[in-house]
Amino acid sequence: MNQDQETLHIIVNPVAGHGQGPHFVEENVIPILRHLLIPYQIHTTSSPGDAGNIGQYLTRSFDGGATIRLAIVGGDGTFHELIEGVQDVTGIKWEVVLLPFGTANALFSSLFPPSTPLSPSSLDLISSMPFPLSDGIQHQLSSLFSYLTKSPSINLPITQTTLSTKAAICEKFSSHVVLSTSLHAAILHDSEALRESHPGTERFKIAAAQNASKLFYANVNLSSNSQAPSDVEQWDPNSQEWTRPFTISNSVSTKDDNHKEGSAEWYVKGPFSYFLSTSTVDRLEPTFMISPFTNLKSEGDQFIYVTMIRPFRDRFIPSSKIEERKDNLSKRAFEIVGSAYNAGSHVDLTYPASQAVVEGDDSRNGNGLETKGEGEPVVEVFRCTSFNWNPSIEQKSEGWEQGNNRLVCADGALHSIPEGGSAEVELRTQEKDTGFFVFA
Ligand SMILES: Nc1ncnc2c1ncn2[C@@H]1O[C@H](COP(=O)(O)OP(=O)(O)OP(=O)(O)O)[C@@H](O)[C@H]1O
């Protein structure tokens, strides 16, 4: 069968988020498509992974070199499963409409932050509809309107992760939103058990409380390939610029052909409490702006933005009394990561220039951090095009709790690095006319 390329294929996940996707499609999407005489087909997922099966089915229905237009009614996980399902299929351009019916909807929220105005052409289209659409519904339909008004779709960078031991590659997978370890991966792991009792984002907060007091032991190498416009760079909250990394060392120099002459692998020594990378989203929920420099809509170059917290750089943490260590680590993690809800201001936090630690001084506990000061950044933000996460052996020391340093989260899907192994993460080369594109 050779499909009509004008058909909009709608993949509906009936259990994502609060399970309201199917009703929304029936009530709002179909009436619009019918009014505009746009052919559509609905494909409802019947089990985990089914979005990938649907993607494979669609590729078999099209000739090579096709453009497949589809809408995803669900969350980031549903889109992730589609990408995973068709990652070995080449020569197809996937143009995707996002209908945010998952829990977090990180990609949609980053492309259409709350109160983003609709384009004039979308507003014209809405005013031509014979039925009213509330402001909230208009916002949920933002990506659909971009498609209907023929806005160009945006190329979506895809990250490839390889888990391997020294002897062999064990697993390869793709991600389009986030690749994380440490606290974020642990939150995703624990929050899954809470999905039924807490279908909204509050389950992430509960899981955060269970994991914020843990240390994740690993070492990381950051690098940039020869196509990258610059070597690895670090955000400097004081000068408000990207600069040569200054809180890590480049002791490992690369002689690899893939690296620019004079470029280096930058070495980051753990333990970590937080470690998250993304090349597409600035936020994980509508107001949780964890990676504020990532902007898919900007014309700029593609990077992986890495956001990390290494608690032992904070003198308040290692100097804590043994019985207060876990509690202090947890408080600090909440204080720092919580600033992401304040328009991503965590990236501007700095330690006092002189990190004198005074016993019993409560100002260290919150007020001790400064903003855009001359001390070192609290959150280290780097941009690169690849990195390795190498779990390491815990340094035994009383009062600390170790988290699972082999857990990796790819767009919410969890993977485990084999014992003694590592994770290698890199941006996939983007093609001009094939791969994934989103209407934004
Ligand atoms: N019919 C189904 N029954 C059970 N699970 C399903 C079904 N269809 C899809 N799934 C699973 O639902 C999971 C949740 O979907 P998705 O990740 O899109 O939503 P979410 O987790 O609520 O949102 P987000 O990823 O934005 O936080 C997917 O990982 C998928 O495996």
Measured from the Cα of 51, ligand 1's closest atom is 9
C-alpha 416 to ligand 1 mean position (Å): 20
Q: Would you state the pLDDT for residue 252? A: 53
Q: How far apart are the first and last CA of the chain?
A: 30
Comparing 116 with 143, the larger pLDDT belongs to 143
Q: What is the torsional sign of CA 35, 41, 44, 48?
A: negative
pLDDT of 9 strictly over 70 = yes
pLDDT of 432 strictly over 60 = yes
User: Is the CB of residue 86 less than 8 Å from the CB of residue 57?
Assistant: no
Helix (H, G, I), strand (E, B), or coil: what is residue 417?
A: coil
C-alpha 316 to ligand 1 mean position (Å): 40
Percent of the chain with pLDDT over 70: 92
The count of other CB atoms within 10 Å of the CB of residue 114 is 9
Average model confidence (pLDDT) across the chain: 91
In tens, the pLDDT along 288-339 reads: 999 999 999 887 778 999 999 999 999 888 888 999 999 999 999 999 999 9
pLDDT of 180 strictly over 60 = yes
Interstrand relation of 8-12 and 67-74 (parallel, antiparallel or unpaired)? parallel
Percent of the chain with pLDDT over 90: 77
Q: Above 0.95 for ipTM, yes or no?
A: yes
Confidence of residue 4 (pLDDT cuts 50, 70, 90): low
How is residue 431 written in tokens?
């093609």
C-alpha 193 to ligand 1 mean position (Å): 13
C-alpha 347 to ligand 1 mean position (Å): 31
pLDDT of 265 strictly over 60 = yes
In tens, the pLDDT along 61-72 reads: 876 678 999 999
Closest by Cα among 332, 249, 294 to 427? 294
pLDDT of 134 strictly over 90 = yes
Q: What is the mean pLDDT of the segment spanning 369-382?
A: 96
For ligand 1, atom 14, the nearest C-alpha belongs to 16
Protein residues with CB under 6 Å of any ligand 1 atom: 13-17, 45-50, 74-78, 81, 102-105, 412
In tens, the pLDDT along 203-243 reads: 988 999 999 999 999 999 999 886 666 789 999 999 999 99
pLDDT of 417 strictly over 70 = yes
Which residue has tokens 């990180």?
Answer: 106
Q: Would you state the pLDDT for residue 312? A: 93
As a whole number of angstroms, the distance between CA 138 and CA 5 comes to 26
Q: Would you state the pLDDT for residue 368? A: 83
C-alpha 402 to ligand 1 mean position (Å): 29
In tens, the pLDDT along 335-369 reads: 999 999 999 999 999 999 875 544 444 444 444 89
C-alpha 274 to ligand 1 mean position (Å): 25
Measured from the Cα of 49, ligand 1's closest atom is 31
Q: Would you state the pLDDT for residue 355? A: 55
Element (H, E) at 207: helix 202-211
For ligand 1, atom 4, the nearest C-alpha belongs to 47
Which residue has tokens 């843990």?
Answer: 214
Measured from the Cα of 17, ligand 1's closest atom is 22
* pTM for this model (two decimals): 0.92
